[in-house]
Amino acid sequence: MSVCLVTGGAGFIGSHLVEALVRRGDTVRVLDDFSTGQRQNLAAVAGDIELIEGSIEDEARVQQAAAGVELVFHLAAMVSVPQSMAQPRRAEQLNALGTLNVLTAAQKSGARRLVLSSTCAVYGDEPSMPKTEQSPLRPKSPYAVSKLTAEQYCQLFNESFGLPTAVLRYFNVFGPRQDPSSAYSGVISIFVDKLAQGATPKIFGDGEQTRDFVFVSDVVQANLAAAGTPAAAGQVFNIGTGRPVSINRLFASLAQLLGGPGTPDYQPPRPGDIVHSYADPSLAARVLGWSARVEFEAGLRQTIGAA
Ligand code: UD1
């Protein structure tokens, strides 16, 4: 049993992590400013957690939230790439400086581990696949740059400030509670939403592009493993399945599960899209004993069941 802080705990991934921590008997505090997170996401555990409303930009608030905590899971961030293109300073402010605030507060309170949620976006459009943690980094957006800075602050605190940290680079996370409402939402949440409304999903390009879709409960397990494994300190881990899935296969699976049109609405490719992206997750397997367990179609069924 540990005292935990989850920043961004009202978000899509954060709320699933909070539920898992509550289930295992930890004391859980959530810091969230509800800019993209929602109270509703925490409805099942509202009576079991301490909820602090505030931003990671607010140093005093962060210190208050981190007082006495042993484990910090840092998920609060600007999560939208297009938003970061429109507001690069804001992305830096939240994702880089906000992380610095959380690291400083965690160190002051003597936390024994901080786990950062990072992203495969740090690899950018460099074409070698699968991505290993040694693959070249070519961040292509303020979002990716700010996340890479956050990663580097984590390494620095691990090496020089006495706070053990671990970094998780998520590939394409999906599952219940992912917000489908924006044009830049994850493709799975958009397709589920469209098919449920009887509409025809759009596929940008020929649909043969691939992504490494990892189910949210597996991402939660990766966080728990990164927090509980001493050897994870100072390391960066890819969190993906290692199995690329095409957008055409995704469409076919969902159309079968939900009923709907036999063919998608093919559109021109989305500017800036990369064709293939998938992880080599073997380091996480070796060091954390973690690998993705939820099979793709099983994850889709769970996503739909809760949609
Ligand atoms: C993800 C991020 C993106 C970031 C990129 C960098 C999300 C939601 N997107 O993009 O902001 O730049 O990582 O690593 O996290 N697609 C369709 N129809 C749709 C929506 C998407 O065909 O309605 C296609 C896209 O063209 C793409 C694939 O589905 O080829 C996946 O799209 P998306 O879910 O946005 O993820 P990424 O492209 O990996």
pLDDT band at 272 (very low <50, low <70, confident <90, very high): confident
Q: Is 143 a catalytic residue?
A: yes
Pairing of β 210-211 and β 245-246: antiparallel
Enumerate domains of the chain plus CATH numbers. Answer: 3-172+216-239 (3.40.50.720), 175-211+243-279+294-306 (3.90.25.10)
- The CB of 81 under 6 Å from ligand 1? The reply is yes
pLDDT tens for 75-127 read 999 999 999 999 999 999 999 999 999 999 999 999 999 999 999 999 999 99
CA–CA gap between residue 45 and residue 32 (Å, rounded): 15
Question: What does pTM read for this prediction?
Answer: 0.97
CA–CA gap between residue 305 and residue 307 (Å, rounded): 6
Q: Cβ contacts of residue 252 below 8 Å, gap of 6+?
A: none
pLDDT in the model for residue 307? 40
Q: List helix spans (H) across the chain.
A: 12-23, 59-66, 81-86, 88-91, 98-108, 142-160, 187-196, 216-228, 247-258, 282-283, 296-306
- The CB of 190 under 6 Å from ligand 1? The reply is yes
Residue of 123, 143, 153, 278 marked catalytic: 143
**Pocket residue to mutate for ligand 1, from 78, 169, 187, most atoms within 8 A of Cβ:** 187
